Structure 1
Amino acid sequence: MESPQIEMGAFKANGPQGQNGGLRSTSSMVQSLNPRRTIERVLRSIRIVIFTSKLNLLLPFGPATIVLHFAAKGHGLVFLFSMLGITPLAERLGYATEQLTLYTGSTVGGLLNATFGNATEMIIAIYALKNGMIRVVQQSLLGSILSNMLLVMGCAFFVGGIVNRNKDQVFSKATAVVNSGLLLMAVMGLMFPAVLHFTHSEVRQGASEVSLSRFSSCVMLVAYTSYLYFQLSGRSNVYSQIGTEEMPNEDVAEEDEEAEIGMWESIIWLAVLTLWVSILSEYLVNAIEGASDSLNLPVAFISVILLPIVGNAAEHASAIMFAMKDKLDITLGVAIGSSTQISMFVIPFCVVIGWIMGQKMDLNFQLFETATLFITVLVVAFMLQDGTANYLKGLMLILCYLIVAASFFVHVDPHSSDG
């Protein structure tokens, strides 16, 4: 009776060669299908995803949003609760994407980051498009770009400069130049429909700017796809981080991250979190106009300033953390990379989705919003041109964001929120 156990023990003791390796893998599969081990892995995954982030203290605001929606019609509280409930979900979406990237490699990982990095903004925008709130879509996506470029990067430069006050932090100028060029291309795509509209030089009033926006959106999507391919192909070594040649081997080994949850666990968590974000986003979008009345805030201020706080929670925390560790190349990848994704992928994607839905979503963001974006891109491009960062540059970017926030607080949108 003992011989089968001895043989199985011998097989497990041998290395993964030939038949012994096959039995070893079969044994591990049997163990993974063990209900007890499955329950342990599920509980461990829940503990890592739910209980390791302090931001998850805001998770109860999600169910409270649904209860409050049916119990009372206070749109202001529903908006605030849903915004607080989505914030930790956006951060956990970024975490699950990073975990899955460790299994898929850099190429697929880059595509995943492009898809899920701004998933919260895309979901909110699609629900707003479904309700015909085109101006809310335009202003919330514009606000995400402004928040990433001014507030997130400004806070990262400021905190990183204070922690590393004895020196100027450096980053790769090549990466900054490429992203600045893409942002300027996005500004060009947004500017021409607005110029057509305000100069009254259209062939067909109203229809030409929509047609131009749809064509420009397809071109911008092609440009962003080409950028992804260029970045993730063999040419990506052009944008290697400064100082990697001088890094000792032990430092390189320390940066090799190990996955905390399994690949399928990451996929399941991405699906669950995306579903929960989409549910809360519907309540958030439906409560925007009511919140504007009850809180006495302009819809433009809510869309440009308050909504991006939800989607940029993960970017804000990670950008500051990497800046404190003197890894500004990663900080720029988080802040400027996210702005590039929104301007060159999410906004054109929303135009195409609106085209499919029958909504006249266009790239005419109106004169005030387009001018704000153009000036912001110029300011940030000049800040990044020398490849150095310090706390003074960070403070200047934060103060620029305060000017933008005050401008939208007193700005009256010439169009209603339903476009």
Structure 2
Amino acid sequence: MCLQMGPMEEKADLDSEEEIPFGPSQATRKVHAFGFESSQQASHVGFSRSWSYKQIHIRPIRSIYIVLIKAKINVLLPFGPLAILLHYFSGKHGWVFFFSLLGITPLAERLGYATEQLALFTGPTVGGLLNATFGNATEMIISIYALKNEMIRVVQQSLLGSILSNMLLVLGCAFFTGGIVHYKKVQVFDKAVAQVNSGLLLMAVMGVMFPAVLHFTHSEVHFGKSELSLSRFSSCIMLVAYASYLFFQLKNQRNLYKPIEEGGENDEEDSDEDEIPEITHWEAIGWLFILTVWVSVLSGYLVDAIQGASDSWNMPVAFISVILLPIVGNAAEHASAIMFAVKDKLDISLGVAIGSSTQISMFLIPFCVVVGWIMGKPMDLNFQLFETATLFVAVLVVAFMLQEGTSNYFKGLMLILCYLIVAASFFVHVDPTTGEYYLVLNFDTLNNQ
């Protein structure tokens, strides 16, 4: 056993002796190699950290460039501060109103852009609701400021003008440009969606019409009170109807849009390739907050200068409220609707134009009535006879244009020409106060006697 163990021990010793000379060198090599790898890893980590820090510092600059500089319409942004300076250093309300109007235009368009960027992260359903909501943020802010200053007719006429602008001008321009670009084929859209929105618009006309008819037929139980009570009750009903519409849209959207999705797989692939977010969702939320605050500031100066602009320009307040203010507020919808119509995505254009009109008529107008109720302001749904008749005829024209589910440039041209007739009508229309109205009636009755 000892003789057998000796060679094995000698072999083990030889093996250990053979490994010893190479051990330190290998160990040192391993240590040096590990140190080199660790230094490389440390350098990579440091480089990545420095790069991430650089990205953190560069990212806001890139976001500012994309939102505030890249778009060509941003050349109008300096007119906002200029309007504020003119408000304090000069008494020219006409210029204050004009520059405020120009300053709000790019802000409204940028609100639409930030909403579209946020919609890329939230999905099409929530994104569509966000687009419609923030697309009408300008009208909502202007209406609340005017309501606070007891300019109820300005609130009514500006909201009415937004509905008319979206239905006639925005949708007409989308149909016209889409028909010109795609003149070799007939553009189609889903009739089911158009019919639902047309039904909601007709319901809004009914809610607006009854208080006006009650007022002008002098059939109120309590003069001046029944009309206001009916308006508040109808507003609550319209808000419930709009909430039901949102629930219906969120729950049944797949079934409602299934024919479009089956027939437009290639379009969806193209849209997925094209629609790449340029800013992050947190940046989009931040820009929505910043732009909304800036629109709120400029809206105060805009509302304060309306009467002065009407006197200095010799222009009716009704024309300013119904035509000029909505064109600015609908800048985002106008650009989006035309862009999607050119890309042959007419359902999205229809959703932007008619969906915005539906939201204003079924949500924003009743919302202002409820807010006025809370604030103690007599905001009602009596839009006067001239405005109510204009809204009724416009809704009928658009409903007939949408019943076939097809679009061409001639339909768009007809809608644009109808809007020009409406604009000319309000340019020669003087909105009398209640006292002046009854004074004219009494004067006419005295002359007849």
After TM superposition, the score normalised by the length of structure 1 is: 0.90
Partner of 2:236: 218
Unaligned runs of 5+ in 2: 1-34, 438-449
Q: Deviations over 1:79-101 (max 9, x none)?
A: 00000000000000011111112
Tell me what 1:359 maps to: 377
Identify the residue that residue 401 of structure 1 maps to in structure 2.
419
Partner of 1:252: 268
Name 2:23's counterpart in structure 1: none
| AA partner of residue 168 (structure 1) | V
Q: Provide the residue aligned with 2:407 in structure 1.
A: 389
Query: 2:199 matched to 1:198?
Result: no
1:337 to 335, 355, 366: 355
| SS across alignment from 1:337 | helix
State the alpha-carbon separation in 1 of the partners of residues 174 and 219 from structure 2. 43
Offset of residue 196 of structure 1: 1.0
CA distance in 2, matches of 1:217, 1:240: 29
1:287 alignment partner, one of 290, 297, 305: 305
Cα displacement string for residues 104-156 of structure 1 (whole angstroms, at most 9, x for unaligned residues): 23444344234312000000000000100000000000000001111111111
Q: 1:289 to 1:102 in 2, by over 3 A?
A: same
Alignment-derived partner of residue 257 in structure 2: 240
Residues 172 and 387, structure 1, Cα contact 8 Å, conserved in 2: yes
Matched residue, 2:197: 179
1:132 matched to which residue of 2? 150
Instruction: Compare 37-46 and 278-287 and name the one that shifted more.
Output: 37-46
Partner of 2:107: 89
In 1: Cα distance, 2:124 partner to 2:187 partner: 26
Q: Which runs of 5+ in 1 are unaligned?
A: 13-26
Q: 8 Å contact 2:170–2:334 — kept in the other structure?
A: yes
Matches within 5 A, 1:277-356: 277-356=295-374
* Partner SS for 1:259: coil
1:319-371 per-position Cα deviation (integer Å, ceiling 9, x unaligned): 11111122111110111111001001110111111111110100000111001
CA distance in 2 between partners of 1:308 and 1:147 (Å): 7
- When Rg is computed on C-alpha atoms for both structures, the one with the higher figure is 2
Instruction: Please tell me the residue identity of whatever aligns with 2:381.
Output: L
1:16 corresponding residue in structure 2: none
- Over the residues paired in the alignment, what is the CA RMSD in angstroms? 2.2
Aligned-pair identity (%): 72
Q: Report how far residue 7 of structure 1 moved.
A: 6.0
TM-score, normalised by the number of residues in structure 2: 0.85
Instruction: Report the 3-state secondary structure (helix = DSSP H, G, I; strand = E; otherwise coil) of the residue aligned with 1:47.
Output: helix
Count of paired positions: 399
Q: 1:32 deviation in Å?
A: 9.3
Pairing partner for 2:75 from 54, 57, 60: 57
User: Following TM superposition, by how much is the alpha carbon of 1:40 offset from its aligned partner in structure 2, in angstroms?
Assistant: 0.5
Say which SS state the counterpart of residue 380 (structure 1) adopts.
helix
- Aligned-pair CA distance for 1:391: 1.2
Equivalent position amino acid for 1:183 in 2:
L
Q: Select which of 130, 145, 169 maps to 1:112.
A: 130
